[in-house]
Every structure is written in C-alpha cells, then in structure tokens.
Chains A and B, each alone.
Chain A
C-alpha cells in the first residue's frame, strides 16, 4: 500500500516536472522542475525498494543505495545549472 501510494506519487511528479521543464521559460524554474522530475524518479526507485522487502529487511537496500548516489549526482547537476544561469545573467558579453 505505502509502496503503491508513493510509486504513483512518483509517476505524478514525473509528469509535473516534465511539464515545468517544457512549459516554463524561466531557467531557474526549469531547474526546479528538473528536481521535481528527479524526485519522482527516486520515488519510483523507493517504491520498488519497499516492494522488495525480504530476508528481514523492510526494503531492498540496493535501489535505496542507488537513490542515495542519485540524489548527490542530481545535486551536482543542479549546482552546475544554477552556476550557468547566474553566469549568463551577469554576462556582459565579454569573457
């Protein structure tokens, strides 16, 4: 039940994030939308992990570890995108 609820929430977040990414022209909003999309993907992994509860563990640790790595990589991507947007906003047409 919990896995299904959050799995479906993940599916919804993917759609919402995708919408923001395609329909909003503001770069910072696109970066936020990308993070919503990423959050949705991680929730799908989380639901898959919870469904894999076995051997005395409440969830399969492999997808959980993947999410941990994924969150850090997504954060690095966010910082790169933000730095690029700020650099572009403050660019005065000279390097």
Chain B
C-alpha cells in the first residue's frame, strides 16, 4: 500500500459504493416515482465509475486504494480495488443498469398514480443490492465485508417475496435463514482471526496468519458460511425456489450478482488472507462439490416442468464451474496455469452474470406473453415471443460454452488449466456439463419453436426485449475480446505477491 494510504483514483471505487447506498437511503423519503428517476440517473454514473476504475487499475498495473478518514489499517479501514474488483464492478454496473431499464415497465410509477407497494420497495432494493455488491468487491476489511453481506441479504430477501404470495414468502424465509447462518459463521471466523492477528485487514492478515489451529477453524467456519451464501451444492436448496419466485428483474440480479458477492469474498479469503495455507485436499474437495453441482444441477434443470425453475437450477450448475479453479490454482502455483485458472474462474463469474440476467429477463417476458411458464405449454412461443426466445438461445450458448461466447473463453481456460495441471478429470466434468446444458437449452428452444398453441400475440414490449437481447449479445461478444485484455483480472492477485 502507498505510504499515505490512498492512490489518486482511489475515490472511484469509493463513489461506486457510496452513491448507490446514498440513493437507497434517499429513496425512502423520495417515494417510488422519484426513487425510480434517481436510480435511473445513477446508472450511467455507476457505469462510468466502474469503467474508470478498470482503466485506472489497468493503467497503473496495481490496485487502487482509499483509506477512510486517512486512518490507515490496521486501525482504520481501506477500500481496495484490484483487477478482480474492476471486472466485477463492470459486470454489476451493466446488469443493474439493464435491469433498471427493464423494470420500468413493471415497477414504474406514472405521473399522478399513487405509490404502489412493489414500486416503493423495488428501487431502493435494487440500489441496495448494487451498493452492497460493490462494497463486497472493494472492501479490504473482513468486518466491512460482513456488513456488505448483510446489506446484500437484507436487500435480496424482500425482492424474493415481492409479489407477496405464500410460496414466495416461504422461499424468502428459507433463504433468509440460510443467509443469516452463513454470515454469522463468517463473522465467527473473523473473530478468531482478529484474536490471532489483531487486525481484520485482508492485506495485513495475509502476512500475519499461519496454519495454527485457530486459523484453520476460522478458515473452515468462514468457508462454510460463504458456501451457504454462494449456494454451492449441498447448500443450494434455498436457491431454486427463491430465484424462481422473485419477479423477473429480481431473479436477474439475484442470480447474476448476489451469489457472486460471497464468492468474491471466498476468493479474498483463500487467495488473500490464507494465501498458501489450505492444503491441496481442500481445493479438491471444493472442486468435487462444484463438479457435483454442475452435473446434478444440470440434470435437475433438465427435469424441471417450469421455465423459471429450470433457469434457477441452471444457476446451481453454473456456480459449480466457479469452484473448479481452486485445485487448478493449487496444482501449479505461480505459473501460467494458475493464471489461466484464475482468469477462467472470474470470466465464468462475469459471463454467467450477463447470460443469466438475460435468460431470467427473457423467461419473464415469455411468461408474461403466454401467461404461464410451463414448458409443456410453450408451443408457439417462437411466434408469440420470438425475440425473448432468441435471447434465451444466445444466453444458452454462453452457458454451454459454445465459441465465441464469453462462457466458451471461461470454460476453455479452465479446461486447458486442468489438462496442463494434470487434473484431466475436471476437463471431463466441464465437457459433460456443456452437453447437459445443451440438453436443457435445447429442450426450451424445441418446445418454443413447435408450432400451434399460442393465441393472438400480445402487445410487444420493445424496450425490455431489446435490453434482454443486448445482455445476451454482450455475453456472447465477451468471448471475442482478445485474451490479453483479461490481464486486467491478474492485477493485484494476492497469492502472487512476494
């Protein structure tokens, strides 16, 4: 860290956190109509802040820092934005911005209309998820990160139950209990780490912890807690009903971003605080759970009778891919192979965020058009809702890992890291997962393209359709970005520091 505790552009990630948080609080007195306007006005600003952060990190080749109140850690708190933060900040800004524009049709308040409950809640919750995600990405203190996790939970839970039906209320309660358990286990681990090292600053902890018993217990507790929040199998049971029960715009941010916040904290823990401490068996175990999630989640998606549940189970499977990077990073540390695994994992997080948001929005549009989301009644959707079906197919390409999509680049990097690292069995899992994904995507497309069934086409919603399609196209184009550009995510990797 620089001696004065701040880098010139360190205020960019700070603003990326504070503007959505301030917007969330201000939304309460503003009311639904003005909260919507405020949220939409903040979207381009947030996107510029994320872009600026990425450019500044890339140009400096080093993380950005901001020490709050000039108090440097360990006494004070710092925000730190590295390449991983920058890439995910961008993904969050794109997904939130797209969702906000999409959601105007459902949660907009026309002039003179009274404030509706769902509209009152939606805009601050969306801003809350945005601010909390950004905070989780740039927090460099384990307790600040805990507050980010709780903000994320408190904003996500009401989104799950926004329509107020009994089944979504039950899904929200189950989600809340899992999420609260996850964060309290995380906090317990943080208490032990403070007892060992006298700080909660991620960078300082990395130099102060060893493999002693309290550190091992803390690592196990925090990992378990974060896995519950990331919904890695077998801790995934809360996810499908919660993500399928939310309104389409809610599902999009829940699946694209909320589960990624805790995943990034897991990376901070394993490759920051604990760099070099977990043994190879621990990485293999995480990847084995990931492989089980890929296979079982995809099979479950194949068997779902309803579109939204199918997409939610697909999230369970796609989360599994994120965990394949752990044993591959450990196989050949400090080599090109580890770098490939790291980039592959983060690229998977970004491309899944774009593709899954597109998919949930598309499914929401289809369901609105044909009046239900049952797969057996999908015949004719190709005529009634051609653009959403195309969007679903394009996003599916990324989830399958078909070139040239972003998902292809991610899975290709993981695959070649697996082969270079001599762990060919993970390559088999990636291939099998791709085939199964192809299966459930095909199932939806085939059902939708079958003729007949649908009545007269409903009025088209041009802007929401374009938004969902745009996200899907972005997720595909991501694979065309030259691989060298992904060098960004290598900046500030803490397991590489001397």
Contacts and interface: CB of A to CB of B under 8 A. Distances in A.
- The answer on direct contact between A and B (beta carbons under 8 Å) is yes
Interface of A: 14, 21, 27, 30, 34, 37-38, 40-41, 44-45, 47-48, 51-52, 60, 62-63, 66, 69-70, 73, 76-77, 80-81, 84-85, 87-88, 91, 93-95
B140 to A, nearest CB: 16
A55 to B, nearest CB: 13
Contacts of A84: 157, 161, 169, 172-173, 176
A91 B171 CA distance: 14
Interface stretch (B185-193, B397-405, B419-427): B185-193
Given A44-B191, A51-B195, A76-B154, A95 B165 contact: yes
B173 A38 contact: no
Q: How large is the interface on B (under 10, 10 to 19, 20 to 34, 35 or more residues)?
A: 20 to 34
B111 interface: no
Given A27-B173, A69-B147, A88-B169, A34 B184 contact: yes
Contacts of B165: 91, 93-95
A77 B198 contact: no
Contact of A80 (B157, B166, B181): B157
Contacts of A88: 166, 169-170, 173
Given A88-B169, A91-B169, A80 B161 contact: no
5 nearest A-B pairs in the assembled complex, by CB-CB distance = A95-B164, A48-B195, A44-B191, A91-B166, A41-B188
Given A30-B177, A80-B157, A41 B184 contact: yes
B166 to A, nearest CB: 5
Nearest to B199: A62
A34 B154 contact: no
30 contacts: A14-B188, A21-B177, A34-B177, A37-B181, A41-B184, A41-B187, A45-B191, A48-B194, A48-B195, A51-B195, A62-B194, A63-B194, A73-B147, A76-B150, A76-B154, A77-B154, A77-B176, A81-B180, A84-B157, A84-B172, A84-B173, A87-B161, A87-B169, A88-B166, A88-B169, A88-B173, A91-B165, A91-B166, A93-B165, A94-B165
A63 B177 contact: no
B192 A44 contact: yes
Given A34-B180, A41-B187, A45-B191, 19 more contacts: A14-B188, A34-B181, A37-B184, A41-B188, A41-B191, A44-B191, A48-B191, A63-B191, A63-B194, A73-B147, A76-B150, A84-B157, A84-B169, A84-B176, A87-B169, A88-B169, A91-B169, A93-B165, A93-B166
A19 to B, nearest CB: 12
A87 to B, nearest CB: 6
A4 to B, nearest CB: 12
A30 B181 CA distance: 11
Contacts of B161: 84, 87
B486 interface: no
Most interface-central of A44, A60, A76, A84 (chain B CB within 10 A): A84
A91 B194 CA distance: 44
A70 B164 CA distance: 29
B184 A80 contact: no
Given A41-B187, A48-B191, A81 B176 contact: yes
B182 to A, nearest CB: 11
B163 interface: yes
B173 A81 contact: yes
B143 interface: yes
Interface in B198-251: 198
Nearest to A3: B195
